[in-house]
Amino acid sequence: MNYSKFIKTLWTLIVYLLLAGGAIVMLLPFAWMIMTSLKTSSEINLWPPTWTTKNFQNEWDLNLKSIPSKPSPRTGLSLAEFRTLSTQDSYNPYKLVYEIDGDFVRRGRVQLTFNEIDYAQKASIEDMMSDIYDYVSNIELREDLASLFAVEDYSLDNFESIYFGLFSQEDGYFKQTTTIRRIQQSISTIQNFIDITLERNINILPYFRTNPNMTESQIESIKRSKEIFSDYLETIKLKANDLNSQLSSYPAELRIISENEVEELINLLADFLSEIQTFEDEILSNTNTLIQRNIYEPIMKDINTLTFYMYFNEKYGEEQNINFEDVGIIFDVPTNETKYQNIMEGIQQTAYPESFKQIVISLADEKNIDNLNQEVVSYLENDFVNDVSNSLLEDPRNLSIYTNIIRTLSQNQVTLEQAKTVLSESDYNFLVENIQGKEEEFERILEKRKEYDKILKDFDRFFLDTISNATIVSAPPFVDKILYKNNSNVELYTVNVPSIWLLDDVPSGKVEYSFNQVLGNIFQNYVDAWNGAPFSRYYINTVFVSLITTVLEIIFASMAAFAFSKLNFWGKDFIFITFLATMMIPGEVLLVPNYITISKFSWIDSYYALIVPWVISVFAIFLIRQQFMTVPNELWDAAKIDGSSSWRFLWTVMVPLSRPAILTGALLKFVGSWNAFLWVLIVTKSPEMRTLSVGLQNFRTDAGEIYNLLMAASTFTMIPIVILFIFLQRYFIEGIARTGLKG
């Protein structure tokens, strides 16, 4: 191989490598968007970022924590959940709740493993609580801790509240970080006291003052005592600084403080208190009370608080006299099929009226089973409104007044005769004026509404519990049933084992997925994104607006291009140059004039506003005109000789010959209309008129963007454009290459 051929080959290789590298760099953002759209919520903010996601895995490790039996779900309450929680029964002593701390688990087989379980079967805790209250009353605790025991209540419900007040991983009193921070605050308070005393207060303390009536020995004694006290405070301050440094060495961790750490802290504080001395000197003894109140007592309260931690755990552990090791619980997360079957079987076993059962059965749909309660509410609400409209209504404008009055009476469980006690004066006067002769119908509808309200209150609870009922694969005998709610809460219902004895037993967990369930995890973000907003409507709007705008633009641009390229008229070149000059005007400058014009025509929030301002494009006219210029004039002359009109020649000859340029202009316009954002945002108000680009705003919240759902929505938003370009890329490249060439 000669040298020149080698150089040429090497140069070609370098060019190809650069092109390949450039292609990779161009594709990286798209690839990152796709990968982000597949990630779970917890993986979005990981640093350093990764190119993988646990959604590809067939097994996840779960981090569980014990929470109160009546928690507030992380994602807020649905209407049914709110109604259920607001009316639910009193505390259930046999209900234990664990929350999966992390990503939602929507499917799969969950396995909970307890290395060891200690519990008791007795439901009485009076002896234990009596000892705890006696302990609290006999020692001086920090005020914020003592407030938890302000009222003596020996109920299981109160014990659970106290336990989570002390040991909740969210905001428990004995969280590691807050426990150490409280002690540091006490030390800071002591340091401030010492600083203020040394700077100002020491000179105004009565026992350190001198006066002319004192002897020299008395004055000298006071000065010497004052100096000793100052040195003593400086020593205490140094010890406080050392103690604070030792506390700062503890790593901040979001967990409950351990017993070993509590013992270490007690020893550190005890060592600090050992430096506190009691003066017996006649003068210095006056400072003992000052030191006791401002240095000794705050630290002693912290020691007592930490000692109470040890005492509480000791008393709680003494009551748990039954032990099991290696306890496992396995259950399947309810699927839509399972939920549907549970509803169908459960509704038949209830005491609801048969008519209501048939309504539920007719409305139940396996694919949309999670919204069954809302559909039932809507069905009964519509039936109620129709009954009011048909039986009571004379003026349609009074419909809302009638329905609100009946709802008020039903909610307050009063009769028509008692209406005055719960209605406003205007509503009551309306009722008196309009109900005459219709009392029986009104009473019938009111009783019907009361029955509906009662049924719906019970049905909400039945619905939530039934669709949450998990299929137990294996569990110890004391587990009665398992409910899995909100894709994160595991509710264990026990038999003969009060849940308070299991609060300190938190299992390790994992979830296993089948191949189909892994696929479900991978594309879950796309499902959530699609359901997170009316994207079907957005798609229809975007396709309609883009197609109509593109077709109209090509029609008008082709006509204008033909005029500028083949027709002769006065001022043609000047008008064309004026057209081109408008391309120099930034689009943002035209937003306000266009908006004012659209408003004058009353087109705001309509398809006219989305289409009409954008059916003319100077660039499209220029692009097609340049292509038309390459068509020989002889063809135009021959067509005129054959008797062809300008209109016919344009659409039968010019347009077919210029197909690449026209398709290029159409593709650019379609893409521009598809991606339009600012104008659509300005001229639309209702979701029914918005397009895909504006719809992506649904994934922006006050707390920030939901990036995985945003990327998923962006992906299925751009797929049609990518497909369109793949099929039309040949014409696009050909049109760009040939535009402006003659011959």
Give the sign of the dihedral formed by CA 604, CA 608, CA 612, CA 614.
positive
pLDDT for 463 equals 92
Query: Which whole-number Å values give the CA distances from 622 to 550, 579, 616, in the listed order?
Result: 16, 9, 12
CA 383 from chain center: how many Å? 35
Q: Are strands 95-100 and 489-494 parallel, antiparallel or unpaired?
A: antiparallel
For 140-176, the three-class secondary structure string (H helix, E strand, C coil) is CCCHHHHHHHCCCCCCHHHHHHHHHHHHCCCCCCCEH
- What's domain 529-738's architecture? Orthogonal Bundle (1.10)
CA–CA separation, 468 and 489 (whole Å): 10
CA–CA separation, 506 and 116 (whole Å): 10
* 454 within 8 A of 83, measured Cβ to Cβ: no
Token duo for residue 430: 């309306």
Using alpha carbons, select from 179, 474, 544 the residue that is nearest to residue 328: 474
CA 339 from chain center: how many Å? 25
Token duo for residue 725: 């370009």
Low-confidence stretches of the chain (pLDDT < 50) are 73-80, 82-87, 740-743
Query: Which whole-number Å values give the CA distances from 593 to 603, 611, 675, in the listed order?
Result: 14, 16, 22
CA–CA separation, 632 and 499 (whole Å): 91
CA–CA separation, 446 and 423 (whole Å): 14
pLDDT for 86 equals 47
CA–CA separation, 314 and 308 (whole Å): 10
pLDDT for 731 equals 65
pLDDT for 74 equals 45
The string of DSSP codes covering 169-233 is TTT-TTBHHHHHHHHHHHHHHHHHHHHHHHHTGGGT-GGG---TTS-HHHHHHHHHHHHHHHHHH
Residues contacting 567, CB < 8 A, separation 6+? 646
pLDDT for 736 equals 58
CA–CA separation, 453 and 449 (whole Å): 6
CA 352 from chain center: how many Å? 36
pLDDT for 739 equals 52
CA–CA separation, 133 and 479 (whole Å): 32
pLDDT for 319 equals 84
CA–CA separation, 236 and 62 (whole Å): 47
pLDDT in tens, 578-620: 888 888 888 788 888 888 998 988 898 889 999 988 888 888 8
Q: Given phi > 0 = left and psi -120 to 50 = alpha, else beta, which region is 704?
A: left
Cis peptide, bond prior to residue 687, ω within 30 of zero: no
